[in-house]
Amino acid sequence: MNRKLKLWELDRVDEQTFKGQEKFPLIIILNDIRSLNNIGSFFRTADAFNVEKVYLCGITAQPPHREIHKTALGATDTINWEYRKDIDSLVSELKQEGVAVCSIEQAEKTVLLHEISTLNKHKFALVFGNEVDGVDQSVIDASDYIIEIPQFGTKHSLNVSVCAGIVLWEFAKRYIS
């Protein structure tokens, strides 16, 4: 028998402990994300994968908002986040700080997600773009890496928040001892 655990048996840290613990050197950048549910999902996933910070850029809505909270389930209170109107200046700033900027996109020259162990940097900013148009070309041009999730079906994309879960797990594995 393999009994399913109850929530109180999961031995999760409380909010204060989580806020004070050392984070994985991962930053999420959301640019022009339209869906409030997707934004909330990003916050919840960022909490699950111990992300350092979330940047909301362009038209991406900001907490507090009822629809964001519905999927974030309180993660907007545990994750360090900041709004920046201009993604290009943010990307430039992060690169100057030595952060490797990775656009999650399909492009002519990409690193497939299962090959990210070959990336030499330690700290990464992962850029996720608009649900329809993806990551802005100016950000792709400025990125250190374009990361692509291999797909084997007839569709050409994944929901952006589903994409985030897949990508963040692969990056988080780099920091698990």
64 pLDDT more than 90:
yes
Mean of per-residue pLDDT scores for the chain:
97
For residue range 147-170, list pLDDT tens digits in order.
999 999 999 999 999 999 999 999
* Element spanning 170, H or E: helix 160-172
User: What are residue 67's DSSP bridge partners?
Assistant: none
177 pLDDT more than 90:
no
Residue with tokens 């700033």: 93
Closest Cα partner for 18 from 64, 79, 81? Answer: 79
Look at residue 135 in the predicted model and tell me its pLDDT. Answer: 98
Question: How remote is the C-alpha of 77 from its chain's centroid?
Answer: 16
Residue with tokens 């797990």: 169
pTM above 0.95, yes or no: yes
* Element spanning 55, H or E: strand 51-57
Look at residue 174 in the predicted model and tell me its pLDDT. Answer: 94
